[in-house]
Structure 1
Amino acid sequence: MAEAHQAVGFQFTVRPDGVDIKLSQEVIKNIYHSGVTAWKKKAIQFKNGVLTGVYPASPSSWLIVVIAMMSSLYIHIDPSLGMIDAIKDNLPHRDCMSVQTRAVLSSVLFATGLWLFLIYLLRYALKALLSYHGWIFESHGKMSTSTRVWLSLVKMLSGRRPLLYSFQASLPRLPVPSVKDTIHRYLKSVRPLLDNEQYNQMEILAYDFKNSIAAQLQRYLILKSWWATNYVSDWWEEYIYLRGRGPIMVNSNFYVMDLLYITPTHRQAARVGNVVHAMLQYRRKLERGEHAPLRALGTVPMCSTQMERMFNTTRIPGIETDIVQHLTDRKHLVVYHKGRFFQVWLYTGGRHLLPSELETQFQRILNDTSEPQPGELKLAALTAGNRVPWARARVKYFSQGVNKVSLDAIESAALFLTLDDEPQGYDPTKTNSLDTYAKSLLHGKCYDRWFDKSVTLISYTNGKMGINAEHSWADAPIVGHMWEYVLATDCFHLGYTEEGHCKGDVNKGLPQPTRLQWKFPAECQEIIESSYLLAKQIADDVDFHGCLFTEFGKGLIKKCRTSPDAFIQLALQLAQFRDQGVFCLTYESSMTRMFRDGRTETVRSCTAEAVAFVRAMGDAGKTNAQRLGLFWKAADKHQNMYRLAMTGSGIDRHLFCLYIVSKYLGADSPFLKKVLSEPWKLSTSQTPQQQLSLVDINKFPKYVGAGGGFGPVADDGYGVSYIIVGENLITFHISSKFSCPDTLYLVPDIHMNIYKAGCLIAHSSSVHLVTTLRTKFKWTRS
């Protein structure tokens, strides 16, 4: 055990002539280095806190203002208009100071006040500028003069070298849309999905709501938007995620895959050593706030709040609601391997373990042949089952003794690592390799991932990696940001030896990983088994398919002057209709991080324009020119809906919050009940690519990620995640349920309809593209 290993460094013996104390020089050296590192970390955090606190100004600007005020004293000019003299006359203990001292102190105080006033003035000016979103509605590649002026002003007020949280105080609040606009947009969104009678009934419900309690509910929301930093996000986390009492495995958690084509090393322990070390580097920069903030157009800042809870975070089960527990500065991780749990310390001598040292630790675990303790093998299934049994078991069986100590070790760990005992990853020789890889990351064996941890890192025997992420604390782009950094650092900065090991010397003096100890009575083991059986039933019902669309990608779509996202969404509508024969309510996730504490909004992709285009594609009486015209209208409509969602004018978050207020007030609303009970049979999301741009994929085309995915939202629907990789690849992750016989054919439909839509728009765009498509894909106009 680590504690036992370190204990031998301090020994004392009681003798007749006193106490003889012996101190190990090695331990004293480690204590010294740990103290220096801790104080250095605190100093850096304090410095970065000051820089963030005064941004967009800098501490040096305070000195400039002070010098300017002091200089004015000697040239007998008073820029304070008498305020310096007023401060001088009201200084405490002024009789004990000379006239010159009082003058200098008064000037410094006035200069400091003026400096703080200018900081707040700059922040509010920047916030006012960032509240303007007209730029996002302009056509791609075209920028008006007003937008150019606006961008120049934003750049001018944004300062130099901002830190991760520098812009937080300048981000605008998410606005509350008017009830009238939201109801109008809602009715337009459901019109293509309802027949005349159903639509008339919905219209009556909507206008009854508008004319009755809507104004009262809206007033409470507006009040909250003034008081809270975001009127949606806390309720969204609480009621959508934490209050759910069903299993979070498959239903909530999502996964992220490794590099698609490249495996840097096939040595499992070595790959994990580099990846964990890269994650620790990322965490150190995160805790110090040293990452550069993500900015749209390289200028417009995005909110960074979600990143705070990436590490050292666990979802704790409760009877009525869960909580998200976030700790700071955790110095260990917990590893699961073949039914055993191990604690591994991440620091030695005040520094992170080196990749070679981490490899040694993980190899020790892989070499360990001990057996699991009774009940230990499937313990993590508790996090995969229903939340209430897990909450009750946690109170009853994990509140004292060795179980409490071991559970605390897991829940306080920086992250959770699973050393899997099978190979996974994309294999072009196997048609279902992405399918099994996705299912393994999403649910595994139902007991070999700790689904409550913010991040569960998964390692396979062939060197492939992946992540399973709990969803309540943040959204997928946040995890993707970290993962891009880790993969780039792993491959291009840390590297491996020719034998595939981590670079650096092997330190064999590290304490052995510590086995966590458990003691479960028979009743607890029955609860574990019950949770496992429920989780296994859910996992066995998940049908997954990953597919790579390589015929063309973003490059061709952009040449055809349309949005790649709108293009894919229309192809999905076409595929869904041909698969099911009906249109359905479609969910596409859009971010709202241009606002303080923003998370997501829904884009309702099944619009009347999209329906018209899809029907035209199946109408033999329509010409390609007519179909293309309908395509442009549908694409423009989708882009406008996406932009409205991003800028705070979406539909669903507003209606969701109105519903929450109505429940608090005990006010019944048939309209809101109806809206929030509607199933999303097609749930889609685009995974962002290259948020950090650490790897030039044009130069290194094989170093591309495979994206990630999630489980189906509806029992009779599809979950579709896609990532547009580079210029010529689109990767799809499609999920449904085996128990639904109607969700079987979306994968081939997606391939066919993206291909056909590409041919259609290319046909009208340029003769060269038509020739290319005909030659490469044997496409003919008929």
Structure 2
Amino acid sequence: MNHNTAAVLPRLPVPDLQKTVTKYLDSLRPFLLEDAAHGGPSYEDAFALRTKWADDFVYGIGRVCQERLHELDRASPDNWLDDNFWLKSYLQWRAPLLINSNWWLVFNDDPLHPSEEHLVSGFTEWQLQRAAWLVHRTLEFKDKVELQELHPVTTRTGVWIQESVSKMFNLARIPQRYCDILSQISSPSDPLSCNIVVMVNNWFYAVRVYDPGPDNSRILIPAETLLARLNVVVHDAATRAECAPEIGVLSADDRDSWASILQHLLSISPQNVETHEAVVNSLMCLCLDRENHSIVLPSSSSSLPQPSSISQASLDSHLHAIRSVPSNVSNRFFDKPYSIIVDPSGRAGAMGEHSPADALVPSIVGEYAVVQHVEMTQSFASAEHSATNGSWSRLEWVVDDESLEAIRAARARAEANIKNSDDSLLWFEEYGSDWIKSVGFSADAYIQMAIQIAWYRTTGEFTATYETALTRMFNKGRTETIRTLSVESRAFVLAMTDNDHSISSETKWDLLRRAVQKHTSLTRDAATGRGIDRHLLGLRNMLRQGERSELFDDLLFARSQEWRLSTSGLSAGHHFRGTGFGTVYENGYGINYLAAPSMVKFGIETKFSGGNTSTEVFKDAVYSNN
């Protein structure tokens, strides 16, 4: 295969203005039907008013905004969206990355997992072996993608993977007041780019994972060599008399607070400048936790069947440890796009900052790392004294009273956020994607309808629903919204929740078929650059001072984007126990799911403070739908 000819990805288009507005009006129909059904304005009058506003927009200021968007696109190196709006929408968000923004992946145990170490604390041989292996496999994947040994750029998928994977390593999000920035990807010639940052007992260490090779090349060290270096680092951290300043928890705080205290830290010592630079330019983080997190679920907490191969308590304990809990939240650096986490029992997972790459990308990397079980030819004992000088170093932070007070305040806020996170996994094992496809449905659309029913059964109302679609067929494509709530999905949900049982099974099946077909059509549009939400964002941003439109001023415009159901499907998840991300709205849900041939794994997160939401109740509703 000729690896010198890269496939060319088309440019993300600016969608047609009239088509976008027509699709937007269609997405408002279920809201207007609901309002009319509950004593609001008649559906016909309300829809006619929105149609008038839409026409005024298309033939007025909207046409001007569309032309401005085309001008912006012509002036943009890659595309109108990613170069100007999309990344900024992440970086301007001031909420803590902890739970609210960062994603997390929960890896399956390694087949060699020693069960007797489940309850231990302190650092273990198996923990370091698995950590070394996972890091090695992760960087092996990175190197193979760069060398085009995997996913060559002669295919469009290869171009997308190479571009996306490159944004996971050697950079970080940097907090700044009002709007963060992303660092530049560090050069392979930069010595700092050859290191990973290892966090142990809240201490930061730089560990070199690429050694110099011939002709200025660099060579990925064997897993056994990394094991030796990790062993020395852990021994160093375990024998330090003083406690580490909990700098990691500062990165879990709201972004303006973190920006302010980081600037203070950088101003009080050049050592802090060097340390932060080393962390930012490093490949990734490895977080070695000292304790296993364990929760005990009350026996009456759920009527759902237990997962087939693990207890629910063990499953959620593992999930929470990767998401972060009070005992390990300081042993993280939330600004890095990819961090591997391993606890003393060898349970592992990954967590990362969302803005450089969408969650499917780290899941592809994670699957490669996990699919092959640990293979070590060198024992822990023989590795102990084989780390060479210069292969690792301490990364010190200098702190003062002001920064210590900021750490105490940040920890209190982080613990409150963690305590408020109602987070669990549901393994639905009755059937999976094979059966769904066998009856003629898209597995993703079918699962979305199950989520719609669960929401309605637990709240008695409908809500705007966000599902992620990737626009990876385009150059620098990121995501688009699939608006799951539609006239068709609403009709199906109402039929399925009909208490009079007056609707036949045949009618319900037909309504499901129509809802799935509608969702499949919306998905196709979103993935092929014909979605509406990114276009509406661009058009709205093209309005200049003093310009306005009834279309955007309409309260229903904001309501149709109030994503109290924020959802995303990943791969079949054969190598993950589950995944997760936090809800954007306090009274909403963040739902990530993995559709395997014979089961579906749901990661569900909401807030205890939401009042009318409950992860356990929602899990029960999802299960009972099927």
Distance in 1, Cα, partners of 2:592 & 2:400: 42
What is residue 6 of structure 2 aligned with on the other side? 166
Distance in 1, Cα, partners of 2:246 & 2:103: 21
Please give the residue correspondences for 1:81-480 in structure 2 after superposition, counting only pairs within 5 Å. 160-162=1-3, 166-167=6-7, 170-194=8-32, 195-196=35-36, 197=41, 199=47, 202-228=50-76, 229-259=78-108, 262=111, 264=113, 267-293=126-152, 302=160, 304-325=162-183, 326-329=185-188, 330-350=193-213, 351-368=219-236, 369-371=238-240, 376-399=244-267, 400-423=269-292, 428-445=309-326, 446-480=329-363
Distance in 1, Cα, partners of 2:179 & 2:222: 40
Contact 2:145–2:152 at 8 Å: present in 1 too? no
Deviation, 1:507, is 6.4
> Does 2:516 match 1:635?
yes
SS of 2:90's equivalent in the other structure is helix
What is residue 546 of structure 1 aligned with on the other side? 425
Q: Deviations over 1:104-157 (max 9, x none)?
A: xxxxxxxxxxxxxxxxxxxxxxxxxxxxxxxxxxxxxxxxxxxxxxxxxxxxxx
What is residue 17 of structure 1 aligned with on the other side? none
Of 559, 568, 576, the match for 1:705: 576
> Does 2:515 match 1:644?
no
Distance in 1, Cα, partners of 2:510 & 2:522: 19
What is residue 519 of structure 1 aligned with on the other side? 398
Q: Deviations over 1:683-738 (max 9, x none)?
A: 11001247xxxxxxxxxxxx63234210012110111100012x201100000000
SS of 2:199's equivalent in the other structure is strand
| Higher RCO, Cα 8 Å, sep 6+ | 2
Please give the residue correspondences for 1:586-601 in structure 2 after superposition, counting only pairs within 5 Å. 586-601=465-480
Deviation, 1:340, is 1.7
SS of 2:322's equivalent in the other structure is helix
Moved more, 621-630 or 274-283: 274-283
Deviation, 1:208, is 3.7
Deviation, 1:427, is 9.4
Please give the residue correspondences for 1:8-19 in structure 2 after superposition, counting only pairs within 5 Å. none
Deviation, 1:546, is 0.1
Q: Deviations over 1:734-759 (max 9, x none)?
A: 00000012112110111111x2xxxx
SS of 1:601's equivalent in the other structure is strand
Distance in 2, Cα, partners of 1:353 & 1:212: 62
Deviation, 1:516, is 2.2
Paired amino acid for 1:608: V
> Does 2:401 match 1:532?
no
Paired residues, number = 571
Are residues 597 and 519 of structure 1, via their aligned partners in 2, closer, same or farther at CA, if it must alter by over 3 Å? same
Moved more, 461-470 or 228-237: 228-237
What is residue 144 of structure 1 aligned with on the other side? none
Deviation, 1:352, is 2.5
Are residues 392 and 506 of structure 1, via their aligned partners in 2, closer, same or farther at CA, if it must alter by over 3 Å? closer
Identical-residue share of aligned pairs (%): 30
Are residues 559 and 681 of structure 1, via their aligned partners in 2, closer, same or farther at CA, if it must alter by over 3 Å? same
Of 735, 740, 743, the match for 2:613: 743
SS of 1:398's equivalent in the other structure is helix
Paired amino acid for 2:135: V
> Does 2:608 match 1:731?
no
SS of 1:173's equivalent in the other structure is coil
Please give the residue correspondences for 1:601-620 in structure 2 after superposition, counting only pairs within 5 Å. 601-619=480-498, 620=501
Deviation, 1:454, is 1.2
Deviation, 1:291, is 3.0
> Does 2:539 match 1:671?
no
Deviation, 1:551, is 0.7
Distance in 2, Cα, partners of 1:225 & 1:600: 17
Distance in 1, Cα, partners of 2:74 & 2:380: 52
TM-score, normalising length from structure 2? 0.85
Contact 2:172–2:337 at 8 Å: present in 1 too? yes
Deviation, 1:513, is 3.6
Deviation, 1:475, is 0.2
Deviation, 1:614, is 1.2
Deviation, 1:371, is 4.2
Contact 2:132–2:227 at 8 Å: present in 1 too? yes
What is residue 152 of structure 1 aligned with on the other side? none
SS of 1:334's equivalent in the other structure is strand
Q: Deviations over 1:504-561 (max 9, x none)?
A: 9776152374222222110111122222222222221110110111111111111111
Of 695, 715, 718, the match for 2:589: 718
Deviation, 1:377, is 3.7
Stretches of structure 2 that go unaligned for 5 or more consecutive residues are: 118-125, 214-218, 295-306
Distance in 2, Cα, partners of 1:224 & 1:310: 28
Distance in 2, Cα, partners of 1:536 & 1:179: 46
Paired amino acid for 1:742: N
Paired amino acid for 2:198: V
Contact 1:303–1:596 at 8 Å: present in 2 too? no
SS of 1:582's equivalent in the other structure is coil
Distance in 1, Cα, partners of 2:384 & 2:246: 33
Distance in 1, Cα, partners of 2:444 & 2:481: 14
Paired amino acid for 1:366: V
Deviation, 1:645, is 0.6
Are residues 721 and 306 of structure 1, via their aligned partners in 2, closer, same or farther at CA, if it must alter by over 3 Å? same
Contact 1:706–1:723 at 8 Å: present in 2 too? no
Paired amino acid for 2:363: G
Distance in 1, Cα, partners of 2:545 & 2:153: 39
Distance in 2, Cα, partners of 1:295 & 1:633: 38
SS of 2:207's equivalent in the other structure is strand
SS of 1:731's equivalent in the other structure is strand
Q: Deviations over 1:266-289 (max 9, x none)?
A: 600000111111122122234445
Moved more, 518-527 or 298-307: 298-307
> Does 2:448 match 1:578?
no
What is residue 503 of structure 2 aligned with on the other side? 622
TM-score, normalising length from structure 1? 0.69
SS of 2:610's equivalent in the other structure is coil
Are residues 669 and 355 of structure 1, via their aligned partners in 2, closer, same or farther at CA, if it must alter by over 3 Å? same
Structural RMSD (CA): 2.7
Deviation, 1:398, is 1.6
Distance in 2, Cα, partners of 1:466 & 1:247: 20
SS of 1:540's equivalent in the other structure is helix
Deviation, 1:299, is 8.4
Distance in 2, Cα, partners of 1:422 & 1:322: 32
Deviation, 1:431, is 2.1
SS of 1:342's equivalent in the other structure is strand
Of 432, 439, 446, the match for 1:567: 446
Deviation, 1:644, is 0.7
> Does 2:393 match 1:508?
no
Paired amino acid for 2:199: Y
Are residues 260 and 243 of structure 1, via their aligned partners in 2, closer, same or farther at CA, if it must alter by over 3 Å? same
